[in-house]
Structure 1
Amino acid sequence: AYVPVSTTQPTSRQQKIFNTAEIRLVLCNQPLFEDSQFEFISSLLAMDLKPLAEPVKVDNKSLAYIIFTSGSTGEPKGVEISHQAALNTIVDICQRYHIDNSSCALAVSSLDFDLSVFDIFGLLGVGGRLVLISDEERRDAASWLQLIFEHDVCVWNSVPILLDMLLVVATHDTRTLPLKTVLLSGDWIGLDLPVRLAQCCGKLPKLVAMGGATEGSIWSNAFDVTLPLPEQWSSIPYG
């Protein structure tokens, strides 16, 4: 199982996650943990490692990942997801929304947020492509726009505010966004987003309002959004 830990989290929160999950090995892209309190943890630089010769066989009920949320108390709470549970969601979404080896997504969701699970294992699992962004680009919507056109990104998966940021810069660009499937979840979706998305894409792509607790293996409900929106709506329905 893997446990994603953000490098931007406070040291105290990292410490609690390491202790709770009994982490002993960290895979990173630069040396970490100069602080003496992390001496019990070994670290490996990802680029120094060679790929496995073949996949490792695991029991489908064993842990795939643990993602730590704040929980109702504000303390880190580890949510354990099995391979079977995660795969069930991923396979269903890929089949339902035609994610295949021609699909390409932009990885705007951080690794310690469970939307990234679909980005990685959903897209790569069907032979698609995933465009990674640097830490410097993580909140730079102009760079996202450039990457979308450069790599012909057709799948977008994020919280609504990140799509809002993209559309702000896309509105001032004369090019048509190549997005074909847009998955939004994790927060309230404003009524303006579908209209603005349609304007930037030439027409409304497949837009799905999704939701569900982390315990539900990424998502547990979905609502396909179409235009025009009913006048009585105050927001996009949840579930």
Structure 2
Amino acid sequence: VLGQAGAGVVLVSRAQAARPEVAGLGAGRRVLVVEDLLAGETPEVELPVVGPDEVAYVIFTSGSTGRPKGVTVSHRGAVNTLRSVNDRFDVGPDDRVLALSELSFDLSVYDLFGVLAAGGTVVFPDQGETKNPAHWLELVREHRVTVWNSVPQLAGLLADEAGGTSLQSLRVVLMSGDWIPTQLPERLRALAPEATVMSLGGATEGSIWSIWHEIERVDPEWASIPYGTAMPGQRMYVLNGRGEHCPVGVAGEIHIGGAGVALGYWRDEERTAERFFEHPGLGRLY
């Protein structure tokens, strides 16, 4: 990943710097110890002027092949998603999110930039406690976390840990990245009666999320939660192999269009051409 990314600098902690495997990262790169940087003076630098279509971040995802692909997302794409969520739920300075997702997983992009952009607070779990539901519950209650953003499995573990006690501070529950058990929304609503429970989906290549569905009553006959409708500024299509719209009930492939479509795969023109293309009537699609 470092080679494909073309990374010139690697940041490590002092404890990590002592590990033998870290020495191998220094070939052609600068390895900087964070504690040493914090101890020194920080020079003032002029920030560059960045346009909305320039690269905001690259997140490597294995996808279905096992070979990492660096998904390259623009500032415009990321901001469109963040604003959509913040506008819908009126996220502001009084909101707090518990940041459970690793920075290599794009749910973390909302935790950091979405909530901070609204003037809110990011609550981080203690190192070594990131997989401890009891610690999550403690932080939710201590800091009165209002926004929960995770894969469904972690939301389920929080509900298990809470038992019959309340999670009344939560007002928005965002679940994405995997199948949502049909019983989970009601369990969460019983613990947080005022919370809006949302299913979100899409792909890293669509700037975090492209589609959402507010989960209200779940029909006992449902096998799964509906996938939803496209988020503002984005489009979702089901197309056949000729790029034509599939009628209702006819299987096809999901395509993402609109502002969220990524710039492509970092330094990988071949795979970018395989997955991203210009549709004659619908614009650029993934």
- Superposition TM-score tier, normalisation by shorter sequence: 0.7 to 0.9
String of CA shifts for 1:2-47, please: whole Å, max 9, x gaps: xxxxxxxxxxxxxxx0000011112344443643421223233445
- What is the SS of the residue equivalent to 2:11? strand
Residues in 1 aligned to 2:44 and 2:58: alpha-carbon distance in whole angstroms: 22
**Residue in structure 1 matching 2:26, options 39, 46, 71:** 39
Bigger share in strand? 2
Indicate if the aligned counterparts of 1:197 and 1:204 stay in contact, CA closer than 8 A.
no
Q: Out of 36-45 and 139-148, give the one that drifted further.
A: 36-45
Residues in 1 aligned to 2:170 and 2:33: alpha-carbon distance in whole angstroms: 34
Indicate if the aligned counterparts of 1:142 and 1:169 stay in contact, CA closer than 8 A.
yes
1:142 CA drift (Å):
0.2
- The structure having more radius of gyration, on CA atoms, is 2
- After TM superposition, list the pairs within 5 Å mapping 1:73-112 onto structure 2: 73-112=65-104
Q: What are the ranges of 5 or more consecutive residues in structure 1 without an aligned counterpart?
A: 1-16
Query: Relative to structure 1, is the Cα distance of residues 144 and 51 closer, same or farther in structure 2, using a 3 angstrom cutoff?
Result: farther
1:94 CA drift (Å):
0.5
Query: Relative to structure 1, is the Cα distance of residues 52 and 168 closer, same or farther in structure 2, using a 3 angstrom cutoff?
Result: farther
Instruction: Give the equivalent residue in structure 1 for 2:184.
Output: 193
Instruction: Give the equivalent residue in structure 2 for 1:182.
Output: 173
Residues in 2 aligned to 1:208 and 1:84: alpha-carbon distance in whole angstroms: 23
Give the number of equivalent residue pairs: 220
> What amino acid is aligned across from residue 102 of structure 2 in structure 1?
S
Indicate if the aligned counterparts of 2:95 and 2:120 stay in contact, CA closer than 8 A.
yes
> What amino acid is aligned across from residue 20 of structure 1 in structure 2?
Q
1:167 matched to 2:162? The reply is no
Q: Out of 36-45 and 94-103, give the one that drifted further.
A: 36-45
Instruction: Give the equivalent residue in structure 1 for 2:233.
Output: none
Instruction: Give the equivalent residue in structure 2 for 1:13.
Output: none
CA RMSD across the alignment: 1.9
- What is the SS of the residue equivalent to 2:148? strand
Instruction: Give the equivalent residue in structure 1 for 2:275.
Output: none
> What amino acid is aligned across from residue 184 of structure 1 in structure 2?
M
1:209 CA drift (Å):
0.3
1:236 CA drift (Å):
1.1
1:130 matched to 2:122? The reply is yes
Query: Relative to structure 1, is the Cα distance of residues 28 and 37 closer, same or farther in structure 2, using a 3 angstrom cutoff?
Result: closer
Instruction: Give the equivalent residue in structure 2 for 1:147.
Output: 139
Query: Relative to structure 1, is the Cα distance of residues 76 and 217 closer, same or farther in structure 2, using a 3 angstrom cutoff?
Result: same
Residues in 1 aligned to 2:31 and 2:83: alpha-carbon distance in whole angstroms: 33
1:177 CA drift (Å):
3.6
Residues in 1 aligned to 2:172 and 2:47: alpha-carbon distance in whole angstroms: 30
1:225 matched to 2:215? The reply is yes
Q: Out of 119-128 and 28-37, give the one that drifted further.
A: 28-37
Residues in 2 aligned to 1:51 and 1:238: alpha-carbon distance in whole angstroms: 48
Indicate if the aligned counterparts of 1:210 and 1:219 stay in contact, CA closer than 8 A.
yes
Indicate if the aligned counterparts of 1:194 and 1:204 stay in contact, CA closer than 8 A.
no
Indicate if the aligned counterparts of 1:157 and 1:184 stay in contact, CA closer than 8 A.
yes
Residues in 1 aligned to 2:142 and 2:97: alpha-carbon distance in whole angstroms: 12
Residues in 1 aligned to 2:76 and 2:43: alpha-carbon distance in whole angstroms: 24
Residues in 1 aligned to 2:47 and 2:144: alpha-carbon distance in whole angstroms: 29
